[in-house]
Structure 1
Amino acid sequence: MAMQLSIDDFLKLRSQLPIVDVRSEGEYHEGHIPSAVNIPILNNAERIAVGTDYKQRGQQEAIKTGFRLVGPRLLDIVNKTEEIGKEILVHCWRGGMRSSNFCQFVGMARVQSHQLAGGYKAYRTKAVESYTWPLKLIVIGGCTGSGKSEILRALKAQGEQVIDLEQLALHKGSAFGGLMMPPQPTTEQFQNNLFEEIITFDRSKRIWIEDESIAVGKIFLPHGLWTQMNNSPIVEITVNKETRIERLVHEYGSADKELFLQAMVNITRKLGGQHFNAAKEKLLQNDMASVIDILLTYYDKAYLNGLAKKKQRVKNSVPWDGETIDAFAASLIQAID
């Protein structure tokens, strides 16, 4: 008989034991516990078949359909589980029949299992709760190209607590932020990854985070964290425009020109037709510095308008020459201390 664990005990035990997620591959893709291995007891097609039987013929028939479908795959399920370990943590969606049956099946093969009470839903509830935990956030602001993400990573390397939203979202935040990046996770998966960061923090100490809008690419920040960010002090990094252009040319200069142009098309209305046409002409001439210069006219205006509304939250304005990132991060820590 599998032992039922509360979500808190489950989270403590997972540093010692592997996790098996027995939901379908579709559910797993939508969002999962980052370290969990997916061994579906019912795959996508089987889950639909069981659900259809449940609606049309009742629970008893649905259970029989489930057994009929799982039967031929049972040996494969047990073999895959044994590869993971002889003692495992298991969960399904609500901690119900799928994980119970899975635990019974692998138990017959002498695999010891611990079932998460409430399933993945309990994990998600805990994650959503974490976004409202009081965090001592310091928001790093600055115009596009100021190196905010780079500064965050340098702060982390010096032992500071950091939430790197762009790294978690696999997107750099602007209309061009998806260029040269892998596909983004789902919003649910991003939020799970964020929760995994939050639970490692000492919440009595400061946590640095970048000033972001509520959407990072196609991903949305949890409302609780977004609210906290909007009530936290800002440290503004000021970098001259020439240095920012240089940094952005280095960052985007090797991007696919067609994809870059498409990203520009997407913000034509915000840029204005005249600016778009000028930037397009420079792009076709491979004059990336001029392209960035034109784009920054729009981005800087939007950023500075936004910053004006948060003026009372700006606690420090720190100039940076765009060089020696580690020394700058150290001086930033000193300025805050």
Structure 2
Amino acid sequence: MNTFAAMLKEITFSEYLVLSNEVPLIDVRSPGEFLKGHIPFATNIPLFTNDERAKVGTVYKQQSKEKAIELGYTLVNPKLDQFITESESVAPAGKIAVHCWRGGMRSKSFAGHLSENGFETVYVIKGGYKAFRNHALESFKNEANICILGGYTGSAKTYILKELEQMGEQIIDLEGLANHKGSAFGNCGNQPTIEQFENDLFWKWKDLDYTKTIWVEDESHRIGSVNIPMNFFENMRNQLVLFLDIPREERARHLVNDYAQADKEMLADSVNRISKRLGGLDTQKALAHLAANEFYETAMITLIYYDKYYLRGLQNRKHDDIFPLKIQKIDFKQNAKKIIKHHATIVKTKHKTHSV
């Protein structure tokens, strides 16, 4: 595969972001690399399979760079027509961007092949996926006007966030990005890798107006099997918290509606996972209620643990940054309106205080 640099244009990842809505992106790394973490909305057309990449790497280490390149050509040449066909399906308009791990031989060779075979404009991302990762992680240091939506488990915070978004507010749904509901009962299915969670978070984060309020649900550093990037988490910890104070009975009823259709074996496993902190007697009671389809009673017992757990985390924040809002009923739309009104009052009060 010959490369003609004059037919290609190298651009930074920041420059690609400006073009991203009109120029599709191809990731030529191996399927394993792509699965671990990739730029959201990129299409994987791997130059090498996982096994092929491993063989090329072995030859590079044990023999020489030249021998590795020779093997690479041997493995790639039978796929050249396939690369064109797949790339045309991704970018029928003939404009495309390509990246590999560091913007090296893989992406430049692939891009050169596209240029030689009818593609009008082909960009190569300088620094490749590594440059994207550096850009993404660095962006979490950006100061932003974040407001944390807090509240005990079962307060329907995720549903309220969606209502806020419908009202035109900026939100980040961390639990949605993590594919997890944030408690032992929250596993919704396969979670992304930590790296992919960070990538998806950045893709949402990059489009927000940091001067306007960004609503984020209060979370611990870990959501299931993924971690919130430390810079982003520290940013969250320094923001004001609008705390929903909703009666436990009301929250238990909401949880029943949320989880009653869930697999009972999964729910029992979730109870057992918090058994040490819940206590032996309460664990037995919760499991007995669950077996008898008494979901409300199960929820009431487990919420005792979760309320204590959340309260401990809340106590680590500055008292002056916590603004309670008592709400008697879970009504997503009405509660979202109350939150907007309460937040406006908080901002106005804080502004007056700082002006004095």
Instruction: Tell me whether the two structures share a fold, i.e. TM-score over 0.5.
Output: yes
Q: Choose from 261, 285, 289 the match for 1:254.
A: 261
For the 8 Å contact 1:234–1:313, the answer to whether it is kept is no
Matched letter for residue 30 of structure 2: S
Q: Where does residue 144 of structure 1 map in the other structure? A: 153
For the 8 Å contact 2:151–2:157, the answer to whether it is kept is yes
Displacement over 4 Å in runs of 4+: none
| CA shift for structure 1 position 238 | 1.1
Q: How many percent identity over aligned positions?
A: 39
Q: Where does residue 88 of structure 1 map in the other structure? A: 96
Deviations 1:271-325 (A, max 9, x none): 1111111111111111111111110111111122322332514442112233432
For normalisation by structure 2, the TM-score amounts to 0.92
For normalisation by structure 1, the TM-score amounts to 0.97
**1:165-314 superposed matches below 5 A:** 165-178=174-187, 181-314=188-321
Report which stretch shifted further, 309-318 or 219-228: 309-318
**1:79-118 superposed matches below 5 A:** 79-85=85-91, 86-111=94-119, 112-118=121-127
Q: Choose from 107, 110, 129 the match for 1:120.
A: 129
Q: Where does residue 132 of structure 1 map in the other structure? A: 141
Cα RMSD, aligned residues only: 1.2
Q: Where does residue 71 of structure 1 map in the other structure? A: 77
Find out whether 1:318 has 2:328 as its counterpart: no
Matched letter for residue 198 of structure 1: W
Structure 2: 5+ residue stretches without partners: 1-6, 345-356
For the 8 Å contact 1:152–1:164, the answer to whether it is kept is yes
Q: Choose from 18, 27, 43 the match for 1:21.
A: 27
For the 8 Å contact 1:147–1:322, the answer to whether it is kept is no
Structure 1: 5+ residue stretches without partners: none
For the 8 Å contact 2:156–2:330, the answer to whether it is kept is no
Cα distance in 1 between the residues matched to 2:320 and 2:243: 10
Matched letter for residue 97 of structure 2: L
Cα distance in 2 between the residues matched to 1:149 and 1:323: 12
Cα distance in 1 between the residues matched to 2:51 and 2:329: 54
Deviations 1:222-266 (A, max 9, x none): 000111111110100011111111000111111111111111111
Q: Where does residue 49 of structure 2 map in the other structure? A: 43
Cα distance in 2 between the residues matched to 1:273 and 1:326: 39
Cα distance in 1 between the residues matched to 2:275 and 2:122: 56
Deviations 1:128-185 (A, max 9, x none): 011111011111111111111111111111111111100111100101110xx23111
| CA shift for structure 1 position 69 | 0.6
Cα distance in 1 between the residues matched to 2:157 and 2:37: 28
Cα distance in 1 between the residues matched to 2:273 and 2:333: 36
For the 8 Å contact 2:155–2:330, the answer to whether it is kept is no
Matched letter for residue 196 of structure 1: W
